[in-house]
Amino acid sequence: MKTYYYSLLQPILFLPQITNADMNPVTNGALKSKKTSKKPEYSRFTQQELPAWKPILTPGWVITSFLAIAFLFIPIGLVSLFASERVVEIVYRYDQDCVPEMYRGNVSAYIRNSLTNKTCIGNITVPKKMDPPIFVYYQLDNFYQNHRRYVKSRSDKQLRSAAYESSTKECEPEARFNKSGDPVPIVPCGLIAWSLFNDTYNLIKKDKVLNINKKGIAWKSDTKVKFGSNVYPKNFQSNDLIGGGKLNESIPLSKQEDLIVWMRTAALPTFRKLYGKINTSLEAHDTITVVLENNYNTYSFGGQKKLVLSTTSWIGGKNDFLGIAYLTVGGICLFMALNFILLYVFKPRPLGDPSYLSWNRKAVN
Amino acid sequence: MSLDDAQIVNVNNPQQPSSPDTTLQRHVLDLGSKRSRDSERYSSISMSHREINDGDARLVHVNDALKTNERFEFAGNSIKTAKYSLFSFLPRNLFEQFHRVAYIYFLIIAILNQLPQLAVFGRGASILPLSFVLLVTAVKDAYEDWRRHRSDRIENNRMASVLVSDRFQQKKWKDIQVGEIIRFSADDTIPCDTVLLSTSDPTGVAYIQTINLDGESNLKTRYAKQETLCKTPEKDVINGFIKCEKPNRNIYGFMATMEIDGKHLSLGPSNIVLRGCVLKNTNWAVGVAVYCGRETKAMLNSSGAPSKRSRLETRMNREIILLSVFLVALCMAVSVCAGVWLKRHENELEVLQFYRKKDYSEPEVENYNYSGIGMEIFFTFLMSVIVFQIMIPISLYISMELVRVGQAYFMIRDNKMYDETSNSRFQCRALNINEDLGQIKYVFSDKTGTLTENKMEFKYASIFGVDYSGEKTNFEGEQRGYSIQVNGQVWRPKMKVEVDKELLELSKDGNNTEAGKHIYDFFLALAACNTIVPIVVDTPDPAEKLVDYQGESPDEQALVYAAAAYGFMLMERTSGHIVIDIQGERQRFNVLGMHEFDSDRKRMSVILGFPDGSVKVIVKGADNSMFNIIDKTLNLDILKATEGHLQSYSSIGLRTLVVGMRELGVPEFERWQSSYETASTAVMGRVALLRKVAINLENNLEIVGASAIEDRLQKGVPEAIESLRKADMKVWVLTGDKQETAISIGYSSRLLTSNMHQVVINSNSKMSSKTSLEDALITCRNFLVPGGSDGNTTSVALIIDGTSLVYILDTELEEQLFELASNCAVVLCCRVAPLQKAGIVALIKKRTDDMTLAIGDGANDVSMIQMADVGIGISGQEGRQAVMASDFAMGQFRFLVPLLLVHGHWNYHRMGYMILYNFYRNAVFVLVLFWYVLFTGFTLTTAITEWSSVLYSILYTSVPTIVVAILDKDSSRRSLMAYPQLYGAGQRHESYNSTLFWLTIADTLWQSIVVFYVPLFAYWKSDIDGSSLGDLWTLAVVFLVNIHLAMDVIRWTWVSHASIWGSIIATCICVVIIDVIPVLPGYWAIFDLASKGSFWVCLLGMSIAAVVPRFGVKMFIQHCKPSDIQIAREADKFGSSMELARQEIELNPSRR
């Protein structure tokens, strides 16, 4: 038996093949009677002679391209690095310090117990002058907000409109609350909402409370379109196991900006989320007292919690990587350009020199 | 599937155990003429079929369709070529589509994805790619089927005149039944396979044109049996039945017996007219239908082109297996890591709700989606297969088909491969092996009709030992050739022949002189001993008619035209007699019997009753077969002289035939006649019996003379062969001609040159073959060792004949022949039989990896064409047998040069590049996904949206690769034609090899690392969300792969610009569209992302940093180790005169 290789495009129209048409003298006769020449019509397209640009990278072009990359990348690198340098960033890790001594052996018991006092006080020093707006972030390390099952556990339909309140299919296992034997939908459902971050921060500078503006921390598109203004939290955190923060049931989801920020799941296991903005400037060497409520359980999986105060630049937060990367690539290209110059000077090859053709080289040898 | 089988039937099944007798017969080759080939077709076919026995027979009662088809087992005449009906379309079409492994893979992945445990993509996204491809194919199939339905309808509703209750009535074709009597008029198309009963010709001849069946345009004769001729179906009751073979696809064979009025008649292929043929030059014919509808030979033969798999694709499949290994390795890595991760966090699973072990809302403890580490690992493995599925570039197979269609389009449309004389374009019959054309190393060529035009011209004659090869005169000026007067009209032959003046004068003398007598015999023999049918054609001048000699063999045509030019004009042929006008005097000869040509005897004979009552047998055939049966006791010196003449004719490349004659005495004639009649009505073994009768008759002949016919070389053949040889292809010529003819053609086609050493092997036994092979090898080695001479080694040409090959092929000597042949620059095989041609191709194919190409035009080349990697048919004088078996078909041998050097080279380069690029393109995407998985707790989250993942290979990056693979040209046609050596790139696998594959993989790894890790580090510890980062990666990968492609494009036409930049724009648009759908989690992400500077800095940095190494390496290689193509390109662009410089080097080899 022959292997049967079914060819998708075999019988396409213009390909000659014995088809029925060939066997039918009627159709054949009709073709014959025209007696047309089958000579293919000339066109630049069919003869594959379309006008074309045929760049050949001569030594000049090669060196120019490397130099161009170098001269583009090095300045961008410097500018990025400079921008990153200007960003002032304060990182304050509190997850370990904020556990009272007596609970250090059994953190889990401390954090799960709703009766223990979670308030914790710490101090941070401003290293350099920080101009407003100063962004207040919380940073979680080793928190897999991009875990497949976690990411999927949400219902965008439900968040958007009250009409879809009960579309909670994707939200398992936090889809429904068993209210006296009658399962009712949880709004907002799913693990993401359930695990809402609920530490709170108060910053005090020289006995004066620094106002943290929590308005406008979420994307405008989210508050306007994605989260419905007629959707109110219902049955949230009513199950026995409580994952995180609770929501005020009288405020619509579109106004719950902390939730909206949290629901934009982070891409990477170490991430920051915007907590608020400070609109006053902080001077160098200012000491700021942080009064926080350490409610959120990252201890069970070894996660870290940090409070971050940072200014920003056009490139974002403090990150030297892009600047260094650009400088490296630019440097390498400069180096390559020099090498190619040397190569072309010491080992030139005339372009199109037939003595390099393989059969000519063979003949010479 | 079907066509191939048919061809195997035609050329003796190689596996079939053959008696020593037939093996011997096989190696002796025919005249190489068309006639002989046709006869060979007939004979081999009829031999390979068993004689009918009752079980295999079909019984047809004449004019009684009901009785014939009592059991309703015979098909009606309605045909159905359409595959589907309205209801069967969906299931059947799907069934056929899923014959492709690729689709099965798609399907399994899609099904896996539907399992709730493994649902990686949403329903829609997972089914989209498969359904898209299925839909496109289904629409195309439906359209084609609709066309078939339409043409079926037209065909089935045509009208034919059928005998119904003793009157001929019009009836639709589809209603015709087996056993019915049908009447055809001139120019009617035959509706079904029909046995002729009577025709308008009193002798029962009907002429048919079979162009729809086999493409041959000349008229063929078919005969009604004498016994049925006189019957008029309307009046006489025809009582009888026909017993014939079961329907089969052999259009050259038919075997039946007819019993009519108690008489037993035998029927053969000449008594049947097949569906699709057209009745010509005959006013009417009546026949009885024996095969109808799908059982007709025409329908049984309608099948598709052969399908082969290209070498490149075979090599590619090896790399696909490697990619599968990579895929499995990636999936293993992910699943093992996932297992380790679960193990380490086993105690925390309770907190991570998605692996919750305990449900606190219920009193009893319940598992949620957690099936233990073992199962989780297994599920992760399957899920990662789904996520990484495009690592195996399934879309590549579809792209390759599209690309091949595009390439075929350009090959077909190429003006330079259009043949004016036959008005034929290049044809791509096989669609899977375009790229093989770029890697050919061996070219096996037929001679007659392939290298030569197969337009025969009578040149010289040797008549009874006298050579007439004097000066030729063309009568164009004085007399316009020979003509005769018939009823006040002037009849002249259609073709003019140059004549020898002396011979012309002598021939006019008639029987008066001794020389004149011999000349009379000679030309009479030429005019009589053939199967040519003269057809009188009108000219604009009513007083003038042209006689057109129609026949199946160009050699015979040439001989009959020559006889006519010397005053022996064949005027009429019926089955019983011929009329020849001899120098103005019309004479009627009775044709008492004819033994047709077959390749065993290699001669034909007629038994002619002369007007004076004497009977002579005239035999014409190849010289070696004729000398065996010529009476050597008579005229020995004349025999010697003739042999000498033959030698000299063939040494200048002419085809020779020898004519002999003998008078039959009455007893001998009667003996022959009775045995001839017995044989020709025999039901069992008719062919063998007839051959025996012929052999008994054809002996002790008296030599009459020999003819020499020229077959001119086709235009451009020497140049083409030179180009092919420069391109380092080995050209082998396999011909049925004599050694001298073959050698002379070798010289005139520049295959052989004067500085070549010729090694000739002519052996008659195994031992002598062995010794000559060994001697030849030693000679060959001596020549190949450069004996201190100036590098200008003479090359060796091997000339070997069919007889020696009998002892060499399929024995242990093959190995030596191969070694010898591979050391020779040129190999000429003469006197080879069709099967030996295939054997020689197989000799090379079995032992090397090099690609072979066979080119031929006749039925005798079919086996070779099918054996070679690439088979090319010349659509010329010899019908369509070769074309039907070929992968590509064209009009002229010289088109081989643009086909291989230009299109083949381009196709190979394009396809090779496209495969590598597709590997790269998919792997880079998969690797980006893979790196991300390492940062998600090994849970196969994709930051890139599922829609982008699916659209990546369908929309974002597919068009440019296809466009580039169809349109890009790595070198111009001009350079490729001028420097055939550039073809070496394909022979050396320069565009696709494992080094390139591994380089590509390394490059892919680097590029994926850049694309993934630059944003990772840039956005580490930032508030970026998954969708935004996913969008960045999507755009970065698409930008990158398109820039990568742009870097490799050599020729930028507007189409390439549009496709490359267009895909980037299309991707951006798609990403934006996906991000404005509010119910997707990534709503508005791209806008937020693009408003920040870091995004743009990242994108630019990634795109450049990823391609810098590739660019650097490419430029370095280009400078230090430039490929030939590269230099040709530079020379092309900068116009430095390669030609001059090259000569300089040749003159001055000691430079450097």
Three-class SS string for B748-798?
HCCCCCCCCEEEEECCCCHHHHHHHHHHHHHHHHHHHCCCCCCCCCCCEEE
B1152 in any annotated domain: no
pLDDT of residue B33: 36
Minimum CA–CA partner of A27 in chain B: B151
From the list A154, A268, A354, the residue facing B1131 with the nearest CB is A354
Taking a contact as any Cβ pair under 8 Å apart, which residues of chain B between 274 and 293 contact chain A?
A: 276, 278
Residues B203, B312, single domain; the answer is no
- CA–CA separation, B1135 vs B900, rounded Å? 25
> B101 at the A interface (CB within 8 A)?
no
Helix, strand, or coil (residue A278) = strand
For residue A173, which phi and psi values (nearest 5 degrees)?
-90, 10
Minimum CA–CA partner of A140 in chain B: B1021
Contact yes or no for A23 and B1115 at CB 8 A: no
**DSSP-derived secondary structure for B1079-1114:** TSTTTTHHHHHHTSHHHHHHHHHHHHHHHHHHHHHH
CB contact burial B6-17 (16+ within 10 A = b; e otherwise): bbbbbbbeeeee
pLDDT per position as a tens digit, B103-158: 888 888 888 888 887 878 877 888 887 888 788 778 878 888 888 888 889 889 99
- Average pLDDT of chain B, as a whole number: 82
Q: How far is A125 from chain B (nearest CA, A)?
A: 21
pLDDT per position as a tens digit, A341-355: 999 999 998 888 888
- CA–CA separation, B35 vs B220, rounded Å? 12
First vs last Cα of chain B: how many Å apart?
Answer: 58
In the DSSP assignment, the letter for residue B1034 is H
**Domain final residue pick, B866, B890, B914:** B890
B500 is in an annotated binding site: no
**Domain final residue pick, B712, B741, B763:** B712
Alpha-carbon B425 to chain mean position: 15
From the list A48, A147, A194, the residue facing B936 with the nearest CB is A147
pLDDT per position as a tens digit, B333-379: 999 999 998 888 877 766 666 666 444 445 444 556 677 788 889 99
From the list A40, A239, A329, the residue facing B360 with the nearest CB is A239
- CA–CA separation, B921 vs B1000, rounded Å? 10
Q: Which residues of B touch A269 (CB under 8 A)?
A: 935-937
pLDDT per position as a tens digit, B1112-1151: 999 999 999 899 999 999 888 887 554 544 444 443 333 3
Instruction: Quote the ipTM score.
Output: 0.91
Calculate mean pLDDT across residues B870-891: 81
**B879 falls in which pLDDT band (50, 70, 90)?**
low
Residues B869, B1004, single domain; the answer is no
B13 in any annotated domain: no
> B819 at the A interface (CB within 8 A)?
no
Alpha-carbon B888 to chain mean position: 5
Minimum CA–CA partner of A137 in chain B: B1023
pLDDT of residue B758: 86
Task: Kindly report the pTM of this predicted structure.
Answer: 0.82
In the DSSP assignment, the letter for residue B894 is G
- CA–CA separation, B958 vs B323, rounded Å? 19
**B302 falls in which pLDDT band (50, 70, 90)?**
low
Supply B181's token pair.
């009597």
- CA–CA separation, A90 vs A307, rounded Å? 8
Residues B608, B682, single domain; the answer is yes
Q: Which residues of B touch A174 (CB under 8 A)?
A: 353
B590 in any annotated domain: yes
Show Cβ contacts of residue B465 under 8 Å, excluding neighbours closer than 6 positions.
B635, B637, B638, B639, B641, B642
**A241 falls in which pLDDT band (50, 70, 90)?**
confident
Taking a contact as any Cβ pair under 8 Å apart, which residues of chain B between 199 and 238 contact chain A?
A: 212
Lowest mean pLDDT among A104-113, B244-253, B749-758, B1014-1023: B244-253
Contact yes or no for B368 and A57 at CB 8 A: no
**Domain final residue pick, B667, B689, B712:** B712
**Is the model's pLDDT at B443 over the cut of 70?**
yes
From the list B1022, B1128, B1130, the residue facing A316 with the nearest CB is B1022
pLDDT of residue B866: 85
First vs last Cα of chain A: how many Å apart?
Answer: 52
Mutate to test the interface with A, among B294, B880, B1025, B1111 (most CBs of A within 10 A): B1025
B1134 is in an annotated binding site: no
Q: How far is B43 from chain A (nearest CA, A)?
A: 26
Calculate mean pLDDT across residues B217-241: 78
Residues B492, B618, single domain; the answer is yes
B50 in any annotated domain: no
> Which one-letter amino acid corresponds to residue B497?
V
- The domain total for chain B is 5
> B354 at the A interface (CB within 8 A)?
yes
Q: Which is more confidently placed, B1011 or B832?
A: B1011
Residues B678, B530, single domain; the answer is yes
Residues B1004, B1103, single domain; the answer is yes
Taking a contact as any Cβ pair under 8 Å apart, which residues of chain B between 367 and 386 contact chain A?
A: 368-369
Residues B214, B320, single domain; the answer is no
pLDDT exceeding 70 applies to what percent of chain B?
88
B772 in any annotated domain: yes
B264 in any annotated domain: yes
**Is the model's pLDDT at A204 over the cut of 80?**
yes
B521 is in an annotated binding site: no
**Is the model's pLDDT at A26 over the cut of 60?**
no
Helix, strand, or coil (residue B623) = helix
**A20 falls in which pLDDT band (50, 70, 90)?**
very low
- What are the helix (H) ranges across chain A? 20-23, 25-34, 59-86, 107-112, 148-152, 156-160, 191-194, 220-221, 257-263, 321-346, 358-364
Residues B504, B627, single domain; the answer is yes
**B24 falls in which pLDDT band (50, 70, 90)?**
very low
> B1119 at the A interface (CB within 8 A)?
yes
Q: Which residues of B touch A167 (CB under 8 A)?
A: none
> B1050 at the A interface (CB within 8 A)?
yes
B1092 is in an annotated binding site: no
Mutate to test the interface with A, among B280, B353, B1072 (most CBs of A within 10 A): B353
pLDDT per position as a tens digit, A291-331: 999 999 888 788 899 999 999 999 888 999 999 999 999 99
B837 is in an annotated binding site: yes
B436 is in an annotated binding site: no
pLDDT of residue A71: 96
Q: How far is B531 from chain A (nearest CA, A)?
A: 27
pLDDT of residue A332: 96
Show Cβ contacts of residue B81 under 8 Å, excluding neighbours closer than 6 positions.
A19, A20, A23, B148, B151, B152, B299, B302
How many other CB atoms are found less than 10 A from the CB of residue B763? 20
pLDDT of residue B307: 62
Q: What region, left, alpha or beta, does residue B120 occupy, with left being phi > 0 and alpha being psi -120 to 50 degrees?
A: alpha
> B150 at the A interface (CB within 8 A)?
no
pLDDT of residue A202: 94
Supply A340's token pair.
């190619």
pLDDT per position as a tens digit, B768-796: 888 888 888 888 888 766 544 444 456 88
What's the 3-state SS for B811-849? CCCHHHHHHHHHHCCEEEEECCCHHHHHHHHHHHHHHCC
Lowest mean pLDDT among A272-286, B716-730, B799-813, B897-911: B799-813
Residues B1034, B1046, single domain; the answer is yes
User: Which helix (H) or strand (E) is B920 found in, with range?
Assistant: helix B905-933
> B702 at the A interface (CB within 8 A)?
no
> Which one-letter amino acid corresponds to residue A27?
T
From the list B408, B1108, B1130, the residue facing A332 with the nearest CB is B1108
Calculate mean pLDDT across residues A169-182: 80
**Is the model's pLDDT at A119 over the cut of 60?**
yes
Contact yes or no for B935 and A268 at CB 8 A: yes
> Which residues of B are catalytically annotated?
446
Q: Which residues of B touch A301 (CB under 8 A)?
A: 345, 348, 351-352
pLDDT of residue A15: 37
pLDDT exceeding 90 applies to what percent of chain B?
29
> B1030 at the A interface (CB within 8 A)?
yes
Cis preceding linkage at A188, omega within 30: yes
B737 is in an annotated binding site: yes
Lowest mean pLDDT among B78-87, B204-213, B460-469, B581-590: B204-213
Q: Which residues of B touch A107 (CB under 8 A)?
A: none
User: Which helix (H) or strand (E) is B637 found in, with range?
Assistant: helix B636-651
Residues B288, B340, single domain; the answer is no
Q: How far is A212 from chain B (nearest CA, A)?
A: 18
Residues B488, B636, single domain; the answer is yes
pLDDT of residue B384: 93
> B155 at the A interface (CB within 8 A)?
yes
Q: How far is A207 from chain B (nearest CA, A)?
A: 30
From the list B212, B302, B1025, the residue facing A267 with the nearest CB is B1025
Q: How far is B620 from chain A (nearest CA, A)?
A: 37
Minimum CA–CA partner of B972 in chain A: A49
Q: How far is B212 from chain A (nearest CA, A)?
A: 6
Q: Which residues of A touch B148 (CB under 8 A)?
A: 19-20
Q: List the domain boundaries for chain A.
A: 56-87+314-345, 88-311
What's the 3-state SS for B353-413? HHHCCCCCCCCCCCCCCCCHHHHHHHHHHHHHHHHCHHHCCHHHHHHHHHHHHHHHHHHHC
B736 is in an annotated binding site: yes
Supply B261's token pair.
């009025």
**Is the model's pLDDT at B677 over the cut of 70?**
yes
pLDDT per position as a tens digit, B471-516: 665 544 444 567 777 777 888 888 877 788 788 888 877 677 888 8
**Is the model's pLDDT at A5 over the cut of 90?**
no
pLDDT of residue A90: 94
Calculate mean pLDDT across residues B545-571: 85
Contact yes or no for B1083 and A2 at CB 8 A: no
pLDDT of residue B309: 79
Alpha-carbon A323 to chain mean position: 19
Residues B1094, B1068, single domain; the answer is yes
Q: How far is B745 from chain A (nearest CA, A)?
A: 29
Could you list the residue range(s) of the whole structural domain that residue B559 is in?
Answer: 454-472+483-712
pLDDT of residue B789: 43
> Which one-letter amino acid corresponds to residue B556?
E
- Residue (of A215, A159, A212, A224) closest to A185 by Cα position: A159
Minimum CA–CA partner of A303 in chain B: B348
Supply B752's token pair.
């052989």
Contact yes or no for B1112 and A336 at CB 8 A: yes
Show Cβ contacts of residue A182 under 8 Å, excluding neighbours closer than 6 positions.
none
pLDDT per position as a tens digit, B624-646: 788 888 888 877 888 889 989 98
